[in-house]
């Protein structure tokens, strides 16, 4: 069965590229442009993994991660922060907020999907070419 990725990202171009890369590798992608809608979707779509932009309007990614971690049935879902903040301490802040890992933007299209797969508990490969 396809793994479902929930992508919470406000930048349309980043959403487009990330969705394209993941769908090409067999993932199902749901996306939300802000934290509140992301949390709603997380509750309704039971994602296998959540990719979380940190720079979001209204509610930043740290707040979203903390809110997700306070939701019992989402507690075990891996959350990977994806951020262009290249500041010292961001990795630690992401982990403190409940994220499992951290990927820096701009994402590398050649390695992005395999980086994401490392956070999935079940390592069935879904590679289809490339």
Beta-carbon contacts of 67 under 8 Å, excluding residues fewer than 6 positions away, are: 35, 39, 59
Q: Which is nearer to Mn ion, 24 or 105 (CB)?
A: 105
28 binds Mn ion (CB under 5 A): no
Q: Which is nearer to Mn ion, 3 or 61 (CB)?
A: 61
Among 3, 15, 53, 102, binds Mn ion (CB under 5 A): 53
Q: Token digits for 64?
A: 């979203």
Query: 84-115 b/e with 16+ CB inside 10 Å = b?
Result: ebeeeebbebbeebbbbbbbebebeeeebbee
Minimum distance from residue 18 beta carbon to Mn ion (Å): 12
84 binds Mn ion (CB under 5 A): no
104 binds Mn ion (CB under 5 A): no
Please report, as ranges, the residues that interact with Mn ion according to CB under 5 A: 10, 53, 55
């Amino acid at each position: 069965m396809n793994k479902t990725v929930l992508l919470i990202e406000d930048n349309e171009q980043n959403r487009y590229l990330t969705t394209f890369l993941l769908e090409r590798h067999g993932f199902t992608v749901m996306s939300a442009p802000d934290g509140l809608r992301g949390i709603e979707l997380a509750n309704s779509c039971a994602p296998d993994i959540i990719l979380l932009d940190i720079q979001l309007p209204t509610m930043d990614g740290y707040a979203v991660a903390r809110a997700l971690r306070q939701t019992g049935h989402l507690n075990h879902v891996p959350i990977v922060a994806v951020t262009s903040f290249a500041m010292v301490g961001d990795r630690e802040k992401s982990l403190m907020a409940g994220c499992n890992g951290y990927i820096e933007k701009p994402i590398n299209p050649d390695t992005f999907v395999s980086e994401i797969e490392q956070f999935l508990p079940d390592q069935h490969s879904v590679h289809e070419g490339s």
